[in-house]
Structure 1
Amino acid sequence: MITYLCLSVICVLLVSTETKVVHRDLGFAMCSDTNGEYLYGVDGEEMGHADFTKKEFVMTLPDFADPLTYGEGAYEAAVGEVDICRTNLNNHKKAFNYPAEAKNPPQSSIYFKDDVLLESKNTLICYITGFYPPQAGVSWTRNNVNMTDEATLSRYYLTTDGNFNLVSALSFTPQQGDIYTCTVQHSALDRPLTKTWEVDVSLPSVGPSVFCGVGLAVGLLGVATGTFFLIKGNQCN
């Protein structure tokens, strides 16, 4: 299946009396033979997308971000953009005889949300970046036991270069020596991409404290002994 990506970029210059601020507005229409997507973003962040199942335009930024809103006709405009995308896709099929789809392999990293403390609940995050097309499989294991059903998966985040990012999260309670893996499957990879993380929390050592305590005690004992003999010597004189 060939996917055709239509990208429109609008640079908006906002001018005030004190500063100039340049923002980049991005509108993306994506389609295949059977599917279509449309989303709108500003400065690399998605602001909203068309939900073709509910047949409405959905704003995705939280209210506290004071996002722009779209009035009536936003969803219908998205449908029109996807229709144009499909027309272009059919034209490209005829002109280029089904060219191979460009593919970019993902990169991934795995890290924890909070400082790791044994027996304290935490979250492992697998961050997958820079891949195209926007279909990727993510699986988790703990000590070679599949944990994928317990993980969450974000929507696909479209970047300004036309690639996609994805975030998967797994809640866990650290146990010393546990080994976690996050594995990504993508059509641009020759083999699955796996990142491994092992719980290795060093317990605080009591050695230095003990040695310091003993040294301090010996030092104080030496001072007390010296003082005792000094006083005795003065009495003899």
Structure 2
Amino acid sequence: MGPGGMPGAGRRWAGAVLVTLAVLGPHVARCTEPPEHFLFQGKADCLYTNGTQRVRYLERYVWDRRQDVHFDSDVGVYVADTVWGEPETKSWNSQKDVLEDARGAVDTFCRHNYGVYENFISTHKGEFCRYNYGVFERGHVIGRSVKPKVKVSPTKSGAQVHPDTLICSVTGFYPGGIEVKWLKNGQEQTAGVVSTELMQNGDWTFQILVMLEMTPRSGDVYTCQVEHSSLPDPVTVLWEAQSDSARSKMLTGVGGFVLGLIFLALGLLIYLRNKKGRPVPQPTGLLS
């Protein structure tokens, strides 16, 4: 290639290539200084959106840490990123077979390999396969889906009599895209809603907490609604605010039940003790 081109880029590479070039200085033979090392890289990436419905192919050429040339299937031609990449860009764009090969990589390279690994995973269900399959999808395992577990818990702060916060815990789901809403009496709530960041678990699942600050009134029904790709329909978990009288009745009923159990246990204990202390009757009969 000419002196103005990229060092080491004598031809286009179709796949992901990594080559280390050692450039020896003039004094290396005398062992006066160590050699300098530079890295020339050719990288090919496939970006998938919603499976293979939309596929984007990227090809990049990097000298040391400098990207000189790239090809984007959305553009369709090689583009020079620096003056060092201009000679190669002109050369590759002028070669019909090279340009057609790059444009066709969306199907021949990206979609083809997507199908290969999708079929591979359908017959190999081990965690090793899932892991490596996920690497090819930028950390997302294609086709893997785990339903979320949803739980609503009331909590209160300070010396509050009634709970002032509802926590919707959504755990153990995959993939990470999820929508969690709070509704009050069927109306979506936006004020007072606080969400944590999406947290990763150690088993390739996610969890998230979504809290709602509220002032409960008797009869109000709060709903945590969760939508996820693993669910055919949204999952809803309800929490209903109780009045003071209903709460008192419930506490009275629970207290009465506990007292009843205590009296039952005492009565049974007294009965067993009396039975144990009663003299055993002797059998009567004719003496020989």
Instruction: Sort the TM-score into its range (normalised by shorter chain).
Output: 0.3 to 0.5
Q: Which has the higher helix share?
A: 2
Higher strand content, 1 or 2 = 1
**TM-score, normalising length: structure 2:** 0.37
